[in-house]
Amino acid sequence: MTIDRQSVPLLAIEELSIEFRTRSGTVRALDRVGFSLKRGETLALVGESGSGKSVTAMAIMGILDDAAHVTGGNITFGGLDLLCASPRALAEIRGREVAMIFQNPRAALNPIRPIGKQIADVLVRHGNVTGAQAPERAIEMLAKVRIPDPKRRAGSYPFELSGGMCQRVMIAMALACEPAMLIADEPTTGLDITTQATIMDLIAELAAAHSMATLLITHDLGLASEYCDRIAVMHAGQIVETSPTAALFANPRHPYTAKLIAATPGDVSCLADLASIPGGLPDLRRVDLPACRYSARCERSADECLLLPVPRLALAGGAEVVCRHPL
Amino acid sequence: MSEPLLRVEGLKKLYSIGGNALLHAVAGVDLTISRAETVGLVGESGCGKSTLVRLVTRLIDPSEGSIRFEGVEIGDQPARGFGKAAQRAHIQMVFQDASDSLNPRFTAFRAIADPLRRLKGVSGAALRERVEEVARLTGLPGELLGRFPHQLSGGQKARVGIARAIAVEPRLLILDEPTSALDVSVQVVILQLLQDLKDRLGLSYLFVSHDLNVVRLLCDRIFVMYLGRIVESGPAEEVFSAPTHPYTRALLSAVPTPGISSRDRRIPLPGDPRSPINPDPKVCSLYGRCYRSTDRCTETMPPLGDIMPGRQVACHFPILDAAPQPMVAAGE
Amino acid sequence: MTEALRHARYVLSENPVTAFAFGLFTFFVLCAILGPALVPYSPTASDTAQALRPPSAAHLFGTDQLGRDIFSRVVVATRLDLGIAVTSVALAFGIGTLSGLCAGYFGGLTDRIIGRIVDTIMAFPLFVLAMGIVAALGNTLANIIYATAIINLPIYARLARTEANVRREAGFVEAARLCGNSEARIVLGQILPNIMPLMMVQVSLTLGYAILNAAGLSFIGLGVRPPTAEWGIMVAEGASNIISGEWWIALFPGLVLMAAVFCFNLMGDGLRDMVDPRKRT
């Protein structure tokens, strides 16, 4: 099963809506989420906890919980409709065409298997590499992610490595088969700042070298700003704004984006300059959720915002804002 | 010059890990905090800041050195019995992970009441009054007091942790990454609350964080820690705008700031930190990763010395020019 | 307190199985308390003319080889069996949990000493150990209770030790030290409440084992002595009669024994739900 790596865009998500059936109600996790990603491009999916970023990533990878139901929309990757693909096709694509790295790398690695073997496993499963060649290729991958003394380290176990090194191993496993797209879900949360910088630099470098598309999921606006070409801002399961990075910070069009930027300590000089965002996330189990889920917290909201579907406005430079009263 | 609120001198904590291997978690730290001052402590994992915090709050005993609080030596009182010391109520801490620091079986009320009962002997109506007062101060709605931690949001749990810490009217409050687990919008509220409490109650803070942007906002002075030692200290704004120690420079160059690209300013720190086990006392802790090092750095450990009034640095070749060092991140 | 009761009522209403188990338990307790006063015949009154009668209107469960009414004996035995079970479990729980907590929290020498004692107990096949204790000290009621308590102690100690060990470095323990709590207060006031849900399940399971243990000892003659009415002894006495066709002598005590153990096991989950605040809405 191969996908068309040259298709434009490489990844297209349209009107994706997902709900989770739970004992305490149906959680409408995603509502008409849509964005696209081109080959070689880096897109950040930014949002606070509960915004639905991880759910989106898992939907692309096809690893959603059994309680999840896709109630609308589609995901097209390299010409292939991921939501309609068979589990077998998805299993083949995972690892070879699209790979994912997670937060807390040590927890994602098998604690009782040496890292060299774990990389070799991926190579043999997806990379058309024989069992005999795999160990050698694994060491090459370790060198590629700049792990010092790779030959010796291939025999190490995850607990012997630092958090930063574990994340490098995850990257090595993810990139072993040179996928067309990498999804990085909060890859540096919990890591030191200097480690974070080197890991993100490494991802950026490898992505550029292989023309790999990167979807970076993060709550850190600074990180998104630093490493991504475009940013998509999510709130309570809805995409509120998508924009090239510079434009987003220079001129945010959605009230939530503006508030998020104003709440992020960055270049402000004093605490009083930061502003919090009033209100809180709506309960996604409610049956009567407003059309715009930010409206309850927004000073620009009016009655139409609650009732009528939110319009999508295309802006210059490929940007888009989903708002009835954009800034 | 009046005695500072907290004075730490030559503080060391060594752990024996078999044979004659000693892990130098804290390798000789000098630190002072004055009244109504917010001091920041920054450093990465393994630098010893958690150990330093536990020494200052007297949860563990130092191997060497002195800790003086309001002029009184508290370092020699054993940690086990410190719960009964007079100073216990004066030094309190807000923990990093509010979820972990609250007993899952205690309601918010009981969590906040605990130090009042144990340290101040308050009970009955007076207890209820004080808990409600403190909850009000920290912006915690009264009806949440009967809830358990799993019924509270991240921000609410953070407030409970803060309320518990200030309930006994401490003079020094240690804040160990109090907002790192919170969303950015909640973080703003909590930081502003902390600032407000400090002004109202005249507290001193020791603010430990890896988020340099936050530290810059809140702190008057900062201490930068690396491998168990203080490598730089001074007024926060000065250290941030013109760091003199190569490690501080590297650290600042790695901080991502929205709207500003720092990639071409990146100063890499190749390799891993030196081992804290039986470190060579003659070699600078940053040697091997530092782009300014020479042989001199292996002959004597640079002491923490004054470089300007109010600023100290532990380096043989501190960076004294004002311009940030442009450094292209060379391939390692 | 009313909050706890309200929550208990909620748990029972949510889970009919648990409600049934608690109902059954209440029934057993009532039998234990009121039984001896309400039974139609004295449990030791023998009437050889009526020996070995099958169940009838006069004798609901029939009579045994001495003409005693089995129904009355079964009901009266409830008090004894339940009493043995509850007392020995209380002892095992109290001592086991406390020592396990100390071992897990303090570690070091305390852990090693308690560990060795627990290991020694567990080195024996537990029922054999109970037999040994009773045989050596004499089969009085007290010794049966002590023996049952001793063999069930290790489970609590182990469980408490593991749970305390996991929690000893938790944030709330450090916070408790900062609040001026002594180590004893931390162990009893902070950690113990956290492990109670798990211990509650264990309590109910152990109640089942304890009854079976007492019955087992009686079955082989090392438990209570005749003519005392006790479920185990009655099964033993009736076992030989099964071949000769008098099935009711062993069956009814056996069924009641089974029902009691079943009831305790079902109660376990319910108890845990009642005690764990996380289960509260």
Report DSSP letters for B30-92, one per residue.
EEEE-TT-EEEEE--TTSSHHHHHHHHTTSS--SEEEEEETTEE-TTS-GGGGGGSGGGGGEE
pLDDT in tens, B309-323: 889 999 988 888 755
Confidence class of residue C245 from pLDDT cuts 50, 70 and 90? confident
Chain B closest CA to C180's CA: distance in Å?
4
Which residues in chain B have Cβ-Cβ distances shorter than 8 Å to C190? 103
Domain annotation covers residue A168: no
Does the pLDDT of residue A211 top 80, yes or no? yes
pLDDT band at C212 (very low <50, low <70, confident <90, very high): confident
8 Å CB contact of B92 and C178: yes
Give, in order, the Cα–Cα distances in Å from B276 to each of A237, B303, B316, C175: 46, 17, 21, 28
For B105-125, the pLDDT digits (tens) are 999 999 999 999 999 998 999
What distance in Å separates residue A48's CA from the closest CA in chain B? 6
The Cα C112–Cα A182 span in angstroms is: 51
A220 touches chain B (CB under 8 A): yes
Whether the predicted pLDDT of B329 surpasses 50: no
- Which of A53-67, A94-108, B265-279, B288-302 has the weakest average pLDDT? B265-279
Give the per-residue pLDDT at B330: 29
Task: Please classify residue C5 by burial: count the beta carbons closer than 10 Å to its beta carbon, then call 0-12 exposed, 13-18 middle and 19+ buried.
Answer: exposed
Neighbouring subunits of C (3+ Cβ pairs under 8 A): B
Q: Would you call C170 and B93 a contact, using CB atoms and an 8 Å cutoff?
A: no
pLDDT of B56 higher than 60: yes
| Range(s) of the domain holding residue C212 | 2-279
Pair of tokens at residue B193: 């609350």
Most confident of A182-186, B78-82, C33-37: A182-186
Asked whether residue B70 is assigned to any structural domain, the reply reads yes
Tell me which amino acid residue B116 is: L
Put simply, the answer to whether C193 touches B59 (Cβ < 8 Å) is no
Comparing CB atoms, the residue among B183, B189, B259 nearest residue A225 is: B259
Long-range contacts of A141-148 (CB under 8 A, 24+ apart): A141/A172, A141/A173, A141/A175, A141/A176, A142/A115, A142/A116, A142/A168, A142/A169, A142/A172, A144/A172, A144/A175, A144/A206, A145/A169, A145/A171, A145/A172, A145/A175, A145/A202, A145/A206, A146/A202, A146/B332, A147/A172, A148/B271
Structural domain range at position B150:
6-234
Total structural domains in chain B?
1
Rounded to 5 degrees, φ, ψ at B234 are 160, 180
Asked if the Cβ–Cβ distance from B103 to C181 is below 8 Å, we say no
Give the residue, C18 or A73, on which the prediction is more confident.
A73
pLDDT per residue as tens digits for the range A133-145: 899 999 999 998 9
Strand ranges inside A161-314, DSSP E: 181-185, 213-218, 230-235, 238-244, 312-314
Query: Model-level pTM?
Result: 0.84
Measured between beta carbons, which residues in chain B are less than 8 angstroms from residue A193? 44, 210, 212, 251, 254-255
Which token pair is B284? 């600078």
Task: Determine contact: B250 vs chain A, CB below 8 A.
Answer: yes
Asked if A223 and B271 come within 8 Å (Cβ–Cβ), the reply is: no
pLDDT reading at B327 higher than 50: no
Cis peptide bond N-terminal to C227, omega within 30? yes
> What's the rounded mean pLDDT across residues B10-23?
90
- Nearest Cβ partner of C171 from B84, B97, B150? B97
* SS3 assignment, position C228: coil
Option in B185, B250, B259 nearest A276 (CB): B185
B158 has a chain A CB within 8 A of its CB: no
Residue A153 lies in a domain: no
Residues of chain B with pLDDT > 90, as a percent, come to: 53
pLDDT at C278: 64
Is C2 a residue whose pLDDT tops 90? Answer: no
A190 or A140, greater pLDDT:
A140
Confidence category of residue A1, pLDDT binned at 50, 70, 90: low
What does R_g of chain A's alpha carbons equal in angstroms? Answer: 20
- Residue A95: left (phi > 0), alpha (psi -120 to 50), or beta? left
What's the rounded Cα separation, in Å, for the pair A53 and A184? 11
With respect to residue B199, please indicate whether it lies within any of the assigned structural domains.
Answer: yes
From CA A85, how far away is CA A97, in angstroms rounded?
A: 14
What stretches of chain C show up as alpha helix (H) in DSSP?
Answer: 2-14, 16-38, 70-106, 108-123, 126-137, 141-167, 171-178, 183-185, 192-219, 231-239, 248-275
C-alpha distance from C182 to closest chain B C-alpha (Å)? 7
Q: Label the pairing between strands B6-16 and A320-322.
A: unpaired
Taking the C-alpha atoms of residue A31 and residue A240, their distance in angstroms, rounded to an integer, is 11
> Which residue intervals of A49-149 are DSSP H helices?
53-61, 87-96, 105-108, 115-126, 134-144
The alpha-carbon gap from C262 to the nearest alpha carbon of chain B, in Å, equals: 30
Mutate to test the interface with B, among A276, A281, A298 (most CBs of B within 10 A): A276
What pLDDT does B328 receive?
33
Six token digits for residue C10: 């909620």
For β-strands B311-313 and B305-308, DSSP reports them as antiparallel
In angstroms, the CA C242 to CA C258 distance is 18
Tokens of C219: 């079955």
**Strand ranges (E), A165-250:** 181-185, 213-218, 230-235, 238-244
Q: Establish if B118 touches chain C: CB-CB under 8 angstroms.
A: yes
Is there a contact between C229 and C77 (Cβ–Cβ < 8 Å)? yes
- Partner C, chain B 142-161, Cβ-Cβ below 8 Å: 148, 150-151, 161
Which residues have CB under 8 Å from C125's CB, separation 6+?
none
- pLDDT for the residue A122: 87
Compute the residue count for chain C.
281
Over residues B27-51, mean pLDDT:
91
Residue A190 domain flag: no
Task: Judge: A219–B256 Cβ closer than 8 Å, yes or no.
Answer: no
Q: How far is C107 from chain B (nearest CA, A)?
A: 15
| CB-based contacts of C19-24 (< 8 A; 24+ apart in sequence) | C19/C270, C20/C266, C21/C263, C21/C264, C21/C266, C21/C267, C21/C270, C22/C267, C22/C270, C24/C259, C24/C263, C24/C266
Whether residue B95 and residue C175 make contact (CB cut-off 8 A), yes or no, is yes
- A9 is in which domain, residue-wise? 1-92+220-313
Number of domains chain C is built from: 1
Q: Please write down the long-range contacts of B138-147, taking CB distance under 8 Å and 24 or more positions apart.
A: B138/B162, B138/B163, B138/B166, B138/B193, B138/B197, B139/B189, B139/B193, B140/B108, B144/B108, B145/B107, B145/B108, B145/B109, B145/B112, B146/B107, B146/B108, B146/B109, B147/B107, B147/B108
- CA triple A225-A229-A234, angle to 5 deg: 65
CA B59 to chain centre: 15
- pLDDT surpasses 80 at C97: yes
Going by the DSSP 8-state scheme, the letter that residue B301 receives in this structure is P
Do the domain assignments include residue A82? yes
CATH of the domain at C43: 1.10.3720.10
Structure confidence by residue, pLDDT tens digits, C12-26 = 777 788 888 889 999
Average pLDDT for chain B: 88
Residues in chain C within 8 Å Cβ distance of B130: none
Q: Is B173:B204 a contact under the CB 8 Å cutoff?
A: yes
Out of A83-97, A229-243, C259-273, give the one with best mean pLDDT: A229-243
B80 touches chain C (CB under 8 A): yes
CA–CA gap between residue C128 and residue A270 (Å, rounded):
74
Please say whether the beta carbons of A55 and A241 come within 8 A: no
Task: Please tell me the distance from the alpha carbon of residue C170 to that of residue C185, in angstroms, as a whole number.
Answer: 15
Residue with tokens 């070699």: B283
Contact B217 A268 (CB under 8 A): yes
- CA nearest neighbour of A198 among A271, A246, A146, A236: A146
Give B128's contacts (C-beta < 8 A, 6+ positions apart): none
Judge whether residue A2 has pLDDT over 60: yes
Interface residue of A53, A160, A193, A298 to substitute, partner B, most B CBs within 10 Å:
A193
Residue in C with minimal Cα distance to B147: C277
CA distance B44 to chain A (A): 6
Q: How far is A36 from chain B (nearest CA, A)?
A: 22
Please give the interface size between A and B, counted as residue pairs whose CB atoms are below 8 Å apart: 108
Mean pLDDT for A252-281 is 86
- Sheet order of strands, A11-22 included: A25-37, A11-22, A68-77, A80-81
Q: Do B210 and A162 touch (CB under 8 A)?
A: no
Q: Which of B92, B101, B118 is nearest residue C172 as measured by Cβ atoms?
A: B101
At C248 the pLDDT is 84
The 10 Å Cβ neighbour count of residue B44 is 20
Question: Which region among A265-269, A299-303, B129-133 has the lowest average model confidence (pLDDT)?
Answer: A265-269
What is the pLDDT at residue C279?
59
Contacts of C182 in chain B (CB under 8 A): 83
Q: Which residues of C touch B114 (CB under 8 A)?
A: 176, 179, 181
The reply to whether residue C176 touches residue B57, judged by beta carbons under 8 angstroms, is no
Question: ∠ CA B247-B252-B257 to the nearest 5 degrees?
Answer: 160
Indicate which CATH number applies to the domain containing B230: 3.40.50.300
Coil, strand or helix at A295: helix
Task: Say if B319 falls within a structural domain.
Answer: no
Residue A324 is assigned to a structural domain of this protein: no
Question: Any idea what DSSP says for residue C42?
Answer: -
A232 inside domain: yes
Q: Quote ipTM for the complex.
A: 0.85
Kindly state the DSSP code that residue C189 receives in the 8-state scheme: I
**Given B96, B104, B114, which is nearest C277 (Cβ)?**
B104
Interface partners of chain A (CB pairs < 8 Å, 3 or more) are B
Give the pLDDT confidence score for residue B110 in this predicted structure. Answer: 94
- B100, C171: Cβ pair inside 8 Å? yes
User: Does any CB of chain C come closer than 8 Å to the CB of residue B93?
Assistant: yes
Q: Are A52 and A33 in contact (CB under 8 A)?
A: yes
Q: Which of B65, B69, B35, B29 is nearest to B49 (CA)?
A: B29
Query: What are the DSSP calls for C144-160, one per residue?
Result: HHHHHHHHHHHHHHHHH
Asked if the C-beta of A263 comes within 8 angstroms of chain B's C-beta atoms, the answer is yes
Cβ–Cβ < 8 Å for A152, A69: no
What pLDDT score was predicted for residue B331?
29
Q: Per the CB < 8 Å rule, is B256 touching A223? A: yes
From CA B237, how far away is CA B213, in angstroms rounded? 11
